[in-house]
Amino acid sequence: MKVIICGAGKVGHGIARQLVAEGNDVTVIDWRAELIREIQETLDLRGIVGHGAHPDVLDRAGAGEAELLIAVTYSDEVNMVAAQIGHSLFSVPLKIARVRAQSYLNPIWRNLFTRDHMPIDVIISPEVEVGRSVIRRLEVPGAFESIDFAGGLVQLVGARIGAGSPVAGSQIKQIRELFPDLSTRIVAIARGERVFVPDPTDQMLEGDDAYFVGARGHVPRMLEIFGHEEHQTRRVVILGGGNIGLYVARELEKRESRIKVRLVEVEKSRAEEAAEELERTVVLHGSGLDQEILDEAGVAETEAFLAVTNDDKVNILSSLMAKNMGAPRVITLLNNQDYAGLVATLGIDAWLDPRATTVSTILQHIRRGRIKALHSIRGGVGEVIEGEALQTSPLVGRPLHEVDLPAGVAIGAVVRDEHVLLLTPETVIEPKDHVVMFAERAMVRRVEQYFRVGLEYF
């Protein structure tokens, strides 16, 4: 597939890395020569220095033959114009644009991004995507990651095997034998830098990050087995009154009146705007690095502390202060992934990667076949994919124990008629079933083939 990416920043670089690894023909445009030089040194792609919304630059990039245009520059307006030109002058079939300003995304202007006006096929808003990720993690205490599949019937959950965890040292098959009625499957384990699909005889070790897929109602029980019995969130402190902080506060006000939210914002004018916009949230003006402000916000009594400012160092330091003050659960936003390894050793419960969240959302829309949902984990080392099984798929019509899955691929859940099946070796996947699978990076293309119509299957 021929792809043009406008913007060589962190998001553009992450998307390019993923698409190049899968063998796509990628061209990246950016007006900053140093970013183009850097991306060409690290990835096998074509780079063009220029303005991504200029017709002549898109023409040089081969927009006339492109199947996909992704505009993720720092300017919403450049992204929108690039998509418009891609449509009007070059007839690019699929156009994806990042739009950050919430004014453009207000539901009252929903007709703006239509084929008759601004023809963008997919709008990506990083702040909204990260905000949704925060909400999901608050809804699943004990998990550092939580993603819905199959309309919310199935969840992917990531949980740490901590000190004293009941399953530390246990083999995967022992968990299945002890809890045969539990509709969950461990599909991947992250151990240090390595992420792999475990065999039934593999042990789970203290310090492992385990990813499991299961029926929504069975997730709390699985977390208990892992040793996570955290309480439901009733009090939340949010540091940062930007788009992410405001989104989370608004959603918490909508969803659950019993949750008490306090928001801390260092910029006075922004704090005043947040106080006017929010109804039940208590807004405090001050620094997240000020112990007195954190005391006033009630950090010691909160169940969750969220650090979502634009400054990674403030997020990390304030999270450590909150943890030291007694906050049982701390979630931190990191824009610079160089800090990720450090954060993992500091006791911070979960961290958010806006780039990875955005990349996952974009990949969901460009995967081929009957792909319904997708989530990339650990910076793209693996993907959890939900697809609709077709009659021609090699997954269909045979018991699971006869399905020859390649190494690095695991089936996590099967949904039939809005019912999550309890998987056994004798389970048979039928056409139109939704199958949730994990695939290591090298196997993603293979999994895509399971959900495509192809003569090779006849």
Q: Tens of pLDDT along 163-219?
A: 778 889 999 999 889 998 999 999 999 998 899 999 999 999 988 999 999 999 999
pLDDT band of residue 453 (cuts 50, 70, 90) is low
Percent of the chain with pLDDT over 70: 97
- Edge-to-edge strands of the sheet including 304-307? 282-285, 260-265, 235-239, 304-307, 330-333, 350-352
More confident residue, 341 or 268: 268
Q: In the block, which residue shows the tokens 């955290």?
A: 230
Ramachandran region, residue 378 (left: φ > 0; alpha: ψ -120 to 50; beta: rest):
left
Q: What is the pLDDT of residue 379?
A: 74
Ramachandran region, residue 432 (left: φ > 0; alpha: ψ -120 to 50; beta: rest):
left
Residue range 433-451, pLDDT digits in tens = 999 999 998 898 888 888 8
Query: Which uninterrupted H or E stretch holds 267?
Result: none
Please check the confidence at residue 457 and state whether its pLDDT lies above 60: no
Q: How far is CA 404 from the centre of its chain?
A: 29
Buried b / exposed e over 225-261, threshold 16 CB at 10 Å, is: bbbbeeeebebbbbbbbbbbbbbbbbbbeeeeeebbb
Rg of the chain in Å (alpha carbons): 23
Q: What is the pLDDT of residue 423?
A: 93
Three-class secondary structure of residue 146 per DSSP: strand
Contact 437, 444 (CB under 8 A): no
Mean pLDDT of 75-81: 95
Please check the confidence at residue 275 and state whether its pLDDT lies above 60: yes
Please check the confidence at residue 455 and state whether its pLDDT lies above 70: no
Please check the confidence at residue 458 and state whether its pLDDT lies above 60: no
Q: What is the pLDDT of residue 369?
A: 58
Tokens of 194: 């390595």
Mean pLDDT of 301-312: 94
For residue 203, give the DSSP letter.
Answer: B
Please check the confidence at residue 32 and state whether its pLDDT lies above 90: yes
Distance CA 72, CA 415 (A): 34
Q: Which of 1, 4, 94 is nearest to 52 (CA)?
A: 4
Q: How far is CA 37 from the centre of its chain?
A: 28
Distance CA 45, CA 39 (A): 8
Mean pLDDT of 52-58: 96
- Say which residues have a Cβ less than 8 Å from residue 434's Cβ, sequence separation at least 6: 149, 150, 372, 386, 387, 388, 389, 414, 415, 416
The letter for the amino acid at 35 is L
Q: In the block, which residue shows the tokens 């990416």?
A: 5
Quickly count helices (H) and strands (E) in the chain. 15, 22
Q: What is the pLDDT of residue 21?
A: 81
Distance CA 450, CA 76 (A): 36
| Entry field: residues in the chain | 458
Buried b / exposed e over 274-308, threshold 16 CB at 10 Å, is: bbeebeebebbbbbbebeebbeebbbeebbbbbbb
- Say which residues have a Cβ less than 8 Å from residue 124's Cβ, sequence separation at least 6: 72, 96, 97, 98, 99, 358, 361, 362
Distance CA 285, CA 107 (A): 30
Residue range 91-127, pLDDT digits in tens = 999 999 999 887 887 777 777 877 777 888 888 888 8
Q: Which domains does the chain have, with CATH numbers?
A: 2-124 (3.40.50.720), 235-328 (3.40.50.720), 357-457 (3.30.70.1450)
Q: In the block, which residue shows the tokens 């192809």?
A: 454
Q: What is the pLDDT of residue 454?
A: 53
CA angle at residue 192 from 191 to 194, to 5 degrees? 65
What pTM was computed for the model?
0.79
**What CA–CA distances, in Å, run from 298 to 60, 250, 274, 314, 457?**
56, 19, 19, 18, 60
Phi, psi of 399, deg, nearest 5: -60, 150
Distance CA 454, CA 309 (A): 47
Q: What is the pLDDT of residue 456?
A: 45
Across the chain, what does the average pLDDT equal?
Answer: 90
Distance CA 367, CA 169 (A): 37
25 class by beta-carbon count within 10 Å (0-12 exposed, 13-18 middle, 19+ buried): middle
